[in-house]
Amino acid sequence: MLKREPYIDMVIGPQSYHKINDKILNYKKIKEKISETEFDTVSKFDELQKIKSTNNKISTFLTIQEGCDKFCHFCVVPYTRGPEYSRPFKQILEEAKNQIKLGSKEIILLGQNVNAYSFIDGKKEYRLSHLLKELNKIENLNRLSFTTSHPKDMTEDLIECFNECSKLIPFLHLPVQSGSNKILKLMNRKHNIEFYYSIVEKLKKANPNISFSSDFIIGYPGEEEQDFEKTLNLIKDLKFINSYSFIFSPRPGTPAAKIKKINEQKAKERLNIVQKELFSHQLKNNKSLEGKEVEVLVENKMKNQNSFFGRTDKTTGVIFSSKSCKPGDLIKVDINSSNQNNLFGKHRDQNFIAA
Ligand code: SF4
C-alpha cells in the first residue's frame, strides 16, 4: 500500500494501534513513511490495560483473545491478526469487575476464536469455561455471552457452562459456513457436519432452551447444486433464529482466492433462496413471542421517542414503552407485535425488578 499509493504516509496494523500517537509524532519529525504491521499482541494489551476505562455502558465488549491458527482457506484473519493469543486470566477478571463497578450489567467476551481461549499460569491452564464460571459469581452482573466460536473448540467443559452458569445466555453464534462436507473440506474448516450436529445436540442437552445463529458462505468455489441443497437442508433442520449469509468473495492472498469462482448469477440465486429461508425462521421465531412475556435487559431510552430499547436473553432487540424503567434494569415486557428484526411491547411496570 505504501508503494502503491503516494498519499498514504503510515500503515498501522490492528495489533499496533496503541502505538498510533508515537508513530504520528515520529512521522512529523522524520517525514518518512512508516509501516507498523507486527503482531505485537502482548505489548498492545499491556498498554491498553494502563488506560483506566470510564465506559459506563450497560453492555461491555471485552476482548479476551485475538488471532487464529485455523487457516480456513477463505479467511484473512490468520494473516492480518497473527496466531492465537489469549490475554492473562486475572487481567480479564479485573477489567470485567471494573466495568461492572462502572455500571455494566452484561459482559460479552470477544475473540476471533473466543472458545480457543487458553492461558497458562504456572502449571494451571485457564480456559473459557474457567472465565465464565468466575464471571458468573459476580453479584451485579446480569448476563454473560461470548463470540465468535469455532465448532472444533466447543469442548465438554465449555458446553457444561450452558447448564452451570445461570448468567450465560441461552444463545450461541456458531458458524458452520456450509452444510456440505465436501465444501467444508475445501474450506479447510476442520469440522464436518456430523461433528457440528453432535455439538448442537450436546448444547441442547446442557440447556434445552438454547437457540443458535450461524454464518454461511454461499457459492464457494466447487459448490454444486447438491452441496447447496445440503446447506439449505441444514438451515431448515436447525432453525437458526438469526444468521449472516454472504456470497463468497475472494480475499487476496488466501488459498480460496486462487480457485475458479462459480457462476455469479447462480451464486446470487442461491443466496436469495438461503436468505429467504433464514429470514422466514427469524420472523417465525419473533412471531411466536407475540402475546408472551420476555425478560429484557434495558439498554437505553430511544432518542426523540417515549420508548426504550433492550434485548432478550437471545439478543433480539425489543422496543417498548415504560413508565418506570431505566438502563440496566432487567424487566418483563409483554410482546404485542414483531417484525423480522425486533419485538415490540409494553413493560409490566408494576412487576419491575430494579437492577
Ligand atoms: S473463519 Fe474463523 S476459524 Fe477460520 S481462519 Fe477465519 S478466524 Fe480462523
Please write down the long-range contacts of 197-200, taking CB distance under 8 Å and 24 or more positions apart.
199/151, 199/154, 199/159, 199/174, 200/174, 200/238
Q: What is the pLDDT at residue 1?
A: 85
Pair 257, 301 in one domain: no
Residue at 182 is within a domain: yes
Pair 146, 247 in one domain: yes
| Domain assignment of residue 301, given as a range | 293-351
List, for residues 243-259, the tens digit of each pLDDT value.
Answer: 999 999 999 999 999 99
Tell me: pLDDT of 299 over 80. yes
| pLDDT, mean of residues 184-191 | 97
Looking from the CA of residue 78, the nearest atom of ligand 1 is 5
Q: Which residue among 72, 154, 174, 186 has the greatest number of ligand 1 atoms within 8 angstroms of its CB, and so is best to mutate?
A: 72
User: Please, which residues have CB within 8 angstroms of residue 51's CB and are 6 or more apart in sequence?
Assistant: none
Pair 180, 127 in one domain: yes
Say which CATH number the domain at 229 has. 3.80.30.20
Q: Which amino acid belongs to residue 212?
A: F
Distance of CA 190 from the midpoint of ligand 1 (Å): 10
Residue owning the nearest CA to atom 4 of ligand 1: 72
Question: How big is the chain, counted in residues?
Answer: 355
Last residue in a domain, options 270, 287, 304: 287
Cell of 32: 518518512
User: Please, which residues have CB within 8 angstroms of residue 152's CB and are 6 or more apart in sequence?
Assistant: 70, 190, 191, 195
Mean pLDDT computed over every residue of the chain: 93
Pair 158, 299 in one domain: no
Say which CATH number the domain at 336 has. 2.40.50.140
Pair 230, 318 in one domain: no
| pLDDT, mean of residues 145-165 | 98
Protein residues whose CB sits closer than 6 Å to any atom of ligand 1: 68, 70-72, 75, 77-78, 112-113, 150
Residue at 283 is within a domain: yes
192 pLDDT tier (thresholds 50, 70, 90): very high
Q: What is the pLDDT at residue 14?
A: 79
Q: What is the pLDDT at residue 163?
A: 98
Residue owning the nearest CA to atom 6 of ligand 1: 75
Q: What is the pLDDT at residue 102?
A: 93
| pLDDT, mean of residues 215-227 | 97
Cell of 203: 448444547
Structural Rg of the chain based on CA atoms: 22
81 pLDDT tier (thresholds 50, 70, 90): confident
How many CB atoms sit inside 10 A of residue 137's CB?
A: 9
| pLDDT, mean of residues 333-348 | 96
Residue owning the nearest CA to atom 3 of ligand 1: 70
Residue at 19 is within a domain: no
Q: What is the pLDDT at residue 30?
A: 85
Distance of CA 260 from the midpoint of ligand 1 (Å): 21
Instruction: Using alpha carbons, list the distances in angstroms from residue 200 to 9, 158, 203, 214, 289.
Output: 48, 13, 5, 12, 23
* Percentage, residues of the chain above pLDDT 90: 80
Backbone angles phi, psi at 172, to 5 degrees: -140, 130
Pair 252, 166 in one domain: yes
Q: Is the distance from CB of 196 to CB of 151 less than 8 angstroms?
A: yes
| pLDDT, mean of residues 253-270 | 95
| pLDDT, mean of residues 53-60 | 80
Cell of 252: 487476496
Residue at 153 is within a domain: yes
Looking from the CA of residue 177, the nearest atom of ligand 1 is 1
| pLDDT, mean of residues 277-296 | 97
Pair 203, 134 in one domain: yes
Q: Which residue among 74, 85, 113 has the greatest number of ligand 1 atoms within 8 angstroms of its CB, and so is best to mutate?
A: 113
Looking from the CA of residue 112, the nearest atom of ligand 1 is 7
Give the CA angle between residues 339, 289, 311 to the nearest 5°.
70
Tell me: pLDDT of 92 over 80. yes
Residue at 221 is within a domain: yes
Spatial CA neighbour of 87 closest among 53, 136, 59, 47? 47
More confident residue, 31 or 319: 319
Residue at 13 is within a domain: no
| pLDDT, mean of residues 287-297 | 97
Note the pTM of the prediction, 2 decimals.
Answer: 0.90
Distance of CA 349 from the midpoint of ligand 1 (Å): 44
Distance of CA 291 from the midpoint of ligand 1 (Å): 40
Residue at 231 is within a domain: yes
Q: How far apart are the first and last CA of the chain?
A: 50
Distance of CA 117 from the midpoint of ligand 1 (Å): 14
Looking from the CA of residue 189, the nearest atom of ligand 1 is 4
Residue at 50 is within a domain: no
Per the structure, how many domains does the chain have?
2
Pair 220, 269 in one domain: yes
Please write down the long-range contacts of 74-81, taking CB distance under 8 Å and 24 or more positions apart.
74/187, 74/217, 74/220, 74/248, 74/250, 74/251, 74/254, 74/256, 75/251, 75/254, 76/251, 76/253, 76/254, 77/112, 79/253, 79/254, 80/13, 80/14, 81/14, 81/15, 81/39, 81/112
Pair 277, 345 in one domain: no
171 bridge partner residues: 211
Q: What is the pLDDT at residue 245?
A: 97
Pair 151, 262 in one domain: yes
Q: Which residue among 73, 77, 187 has the greatest number of ligand 1 atoms within 8 angstroms of its CB, and so is best to mutate?
A: 77
Last residue in a domain, options 253, 287, 321: 287
Q: What is the pLDDT at residue 29?
A: 87
